[in-house]
Amino acid sequence: MSQLTRKDFQTNQEIRWCPGCGDYAILASMQKVLPELGIAREKVVFISGIGCSSRFPYYMNTYGFHTIHGRAPAIATGLKLTRPDLQVWVVTGDGDALSIGGNHLIHVLRRNVDVKILLFNNRIYGLTKGQYSPTSEAGKKAKSTPYGSIDAPFDPIRLALGAGASFVARSIDVEAAHLQGVLHRMASHRGAALVEIFQNCNVFNDGAFVTLTEKASKARSQLHLEHGKPLVFEDGKKGIRLNGLEPEIVPVGDGGVPESELLVWDEKAQPALAFLLAGMGPAFPTPIGIFRAEERAVHHELDEALQRRVTETLGDGDLEKLLGTGDTWTVP
Ligand SMILES: Cc1ncc(C[n+]2csc(CCOP(=O)(O)OP(=O)(O)O)c2C)c(N)n1
Ligand code: SF4
């Protein structure tokens, strides 16, 4: 197979995202990473639900399905079971994945289906023109909440950890190098891998992540999770220490605490710590990177093993016979 390039993954479709939308940067990162994986285009499939982000498969020169609202994980599960040789990516938005599709999302993670999920989180419904979403902050004024939302938002990272996801990460649309690094890790992970990507919807929720992306504030606002490294931010001047079960911000170095007192990140540790970091709250920097990466049994392999075991003891199945056993009756 000749070496593919980013261009090979672009299509001739007119891109129908608003100018300036964060989706463009995510698309560019994905198209940069795919040729580096060395997988044939016909072995790659993108499956989406409904939303602006879910238009993604049209812009990828691979196989793809633009499916129904919230149901991409179900379609991806079916595809992976019948064609385990394919690399299956799911593209979804915060509304698509966490509202109408919340149930499907938790089960694809629980089952550890070998799919890679890109969850574009712009904390708003983009396609339907600006209603609040399950990740919109309390008090959010939007088209559907003109006096402010009274709902507590939930955090996709905590939801994924709670569902037993074997790989959970967070990145940002405009942090290309970081996002591409996470995409590489997801591609090599065996099992369900989810990345929450903070994505700017410059039309209906502009600037939702501005403190994380602005040059002036990003060093104090982003906390990079790197396996085996102590948790430091603000150019190494501050760190995170655990005081019992409470994280605290401490100064590091001259006059501060020694680095040895800081929390050292372990993406393979039991998920309680990742859960704690994900919920640190607004007074803390926002963790970016891989919260959890764990090897555990993969859904389609468990299914294949089960089929082998049953066939060895009971022989090949016969669907007609199975349907005809037990109580059957004919409807006149
Ligand atoms: C069954 C059904 N209910 C509602 C809708 C309307 N709808 C389309 S997209 C969407 C939400 C999209 O928001 P999000 O997933 O955050 O994606 P974004 O557009 O922001 O990328 C909704 C409610 C629909 N298409 N189908
Ligand atoms: S509405 Fe928002 S999310 Fe949708 S294309 Fe426009 S900027 Fe992007």
Each residue of 123-151: pLDDT tens digit? 999 999 999 999 999 999 999 999 999 99
- Among 48, 62, 58, which Cα is nearest to 9's? 62
Does residue 272 belong to any structural domain of this protein?
Answer: no
% of the chain residues with pLDDT over 70: 100
For residue 98, give the ligand nearest its CA.
1
pLDDT digits (tens, 9 = 90+) for 205-255: 999 999 999 999 999 999 999 999 999 999 999 999 999 999 999 999 889
Does residue 174 belong to any structural domain of this protein?
Answer: yes
Does residue 70 belong to any structural domain of this protein?
Answer: yes
Select from 14, 16, 17, 199 the residue to mutate for testing ligand 2; criterion: most ligand atoms less than 8 Å from CB.
Answer: 17
User: From the CB of 122, is ligand 1 less than 6 Å away?
Assistant: yes
Q: Pick the residue whose CA is nearest to atom 8 on ligand 2.
A: 21
* Whether the predicted model's global pTM rises above the 0.85 cut: yes
Select from 55, 124, 127 the residue to mutate for testing ligand 2; criterion: most ligand atoms less than 8 Å from CB.
Answer: 127
pLDDT confidence tier of residue 1, bands split at 50, 70 and 90: low
Does residue 319 belong to any structural domain of this protein?
Answer: no
User: What average pLDDT does range 25-40 have in this prediction?
Assistant: 98
pLDDT confidence tier of residue 102, bands split at 50, 70 and 90: very high
Q: Pick the residue whose CA is nearest to atom 3 on ligand 1.
A: 69
Print the domain residue range for 193. 6-208
Where does residue 301 rank: exposed (0-12), middle (13-18), buried (19+ CB within 10 A)? middle
pLDDT confidence tier of residue 322, bands split at 50, 70 and 90: confident
Task: Give the pLDDT of residue 47.
Answer: 98
Rounded Cα distance between 10 and 20, Å, is 19
The total number of structural domains in the chain stands at 1
Q: Tell me which H or E stretch contains 31.
A: helix 23-37
Does residue 87 belong to any structural domain of this protein?
Answer: yes
Does residue 296 belong to any structural domain of this protein?
Answer: no
Ramachandran bin of 164, using left for φ above 0, alpha for ψ from -120 to 50, beta for the remaining angles = left
Does residue 315 belong to any structural domain of this protein?
Answer: no
Does residue 188 belong to any structural domain of this protein?
Answer: yes
CA 112 to chain centre: 13
For residue 19, give the ligand nearest its CA.
2
- Among 263, 242, 266, 262, which Cα is nearest to 252's? 262
**What residues pair up with 172 in beta bridges, in sequence order?**
198
Select from 103, 125, 135 the residue to mutate for testing ligand 1; criterion: most ligand atoms less than 8 Å from CB.
Answer: 125
- Among 179, 209, 177, 169, which Cα is nearest to 289's? 169
User: What average pLDDT does range 148-172 have in this prediction?
Assistant: 98
- Among 104, 223, 116, 99, which Cα is nearest to 168's? 116
Q: What is the CATH number of the domain that holds 106?
A: 3.40.50.970
